[in-house]
Amino acid sequence: MLSLPSLFQAGALVLSFAASLSQGASTDVVGTWSTGSGAVLTGTAFGNPVNNTFDYPPVAGYSYSFTEDGWYEEASFTWTSNATDHHCIQANIIWQHGTYKVNANGTITTDSTMFAGDGRVQVQNACAAQSSAIYYYQENNLFATWAVSTWRGKTMLRLGSYDGSLLPRMYKISDTPRDYMFDSLYLSNHTDSSTTRRR
Ligand SMILES: *[C@@H]1O[C@H](CO)[C@@H](O)[C@H](O)[C@H]1NC(C)=O
Ligand SMILES: *[C@@H]1O[C@H](CO)[C@@H](O)[C@H](O)[C@H]1NC(C)=O
Ligand SMILES: *[C@@H]1O[C@H](CO)[C@@H](O)[C@H](O)[C@H]1NC(C)=O
Ligand SMILES: *[C@@H]1O[C@H](CO)[C@@H](O)[C@H](O)[C@H]1NC(C)=O
């Protein structure tokens, strides 16, 4: 476990949002989804955004959870290798949550602006002056297509990017959406909703 308790430790807030979000959800996508063997999962297994401790999963992948009443959570772990120096691998952890909608035109939109202070990206780069850093992260997404189907005996969710490309398959891990917390704002009192460095 990588622990960065010195960052963001002050001012943890838990504010509940009592919003009713029943419109625009779809029971087809409700549950917990993950790529590959399910090494990357939303929820507490991924870490604790309140004190910025994220567990690095054994393999790269991403995970989404969607609730029936319109909340979602997202977790991803990716590697980027450096073409110039193959030892300089960069690892990225992303976590955010918010609301989602299955739109009438066949798209899915996710919106994390209401929890803009919560999202995190943690970057580890063995060759950077600062080998590990954590930043605010908030990004809304538009998935141009989505399809739930059966693939090799598993229930699969295939999301399509706005540019037409298909994202790696996710399989249903559980009918129960797994979250750290869907409908609460945890953390900071900051006004900049873009990805911002804070040290
Ligand atoms: C972060 O919080 C979790 C849950 O409260 C706790 O188990 C863990 O020990 C904490 N880690 C640090 C470094 O404070
Ligand atoms: C890639 O490696 C080179 C040489 O070590 C380094 O100068 C550069 O910053 C690295 N790029 C990234 C994106 O880490
Ligand atoms: C589909 O609807 C969503 C939500 O209204 C909108 O953001 C998106 O631009 C629409 N996409 C197309 C291709 O019409
Ligand atoms: C957030 O920051 C604003 C401006 O500094 C301040 O007025 C407000 O009291 C803060 N809210 C909390 C919950 O700390």
Q: Which of 23, 108, 109, 111 to mutate to test the pocket of ligand 3 (most atoms within 8 A of CB)?
A: 109
Q: Is the pLDDT of residue 191 over 70?
A: no
Residue 84: which pLDDT band, with cuts at 50, 70 and 90? confident
Q: What's the pLDDT tens digit per position in 143-179?
A: 999 999 998 899 999 999 999 899 999 999 999 999 8
Q: Is the pLDDT of residue 118 over 70?
A: yes
Q: What's the pLDDT tens digit per position in 12-35?
A: 334 434 333 444 556 899 999 999
Helix runs in 2-67, H state only? none
The pLDDT, as a whole number, for residue 126 is 82
For ligand 1, is residue 48 a contact (CB within 6 Å)?
A: yes
- Chain mean pLDDT for the chain: 81
Angle (CA) 96-99-102 rounded to 5° is 125
For ligand 3, is residue 149 a contact (CB within 6 Å)?
A: no
* Helix/strand/coil for 114: helix
Most confident of 44-48, 158-162, 194-198: 158-162
For ligand 2, is residue 127 a contact (CB within 6 Å)?
A: yes
pTM of the model: 0.77
Q: Is the pLDDT of residue 67 over 70?
A: yes
Residue 132: which pLDDT band, with cuts at 50, 70 and 90? confident
Q: Is the pLDDT of residue 139 over 70?
A: yes
% of the chain surpassing 90 pLDDT: 50
For ligand 2, is residue 3 a contact (CB within 6 Å)?
A: no
Cβ-count burial 41-72 (b if 16+ within 10 Å, e if not):
bbbeebbebbebebeebeebbbbbbbbebbbb
The pLDDT, as a whole number, for residue 140 is 97
Letter for the amino acid at 70? G
Q: Report which ligand 3 atom has the smallest distance to the Cα of 105.
A: 1
The pLDDT, as a whole number, for residue 92 is 94
* CA dist., res. 179 & res. 33, Å (int): 12
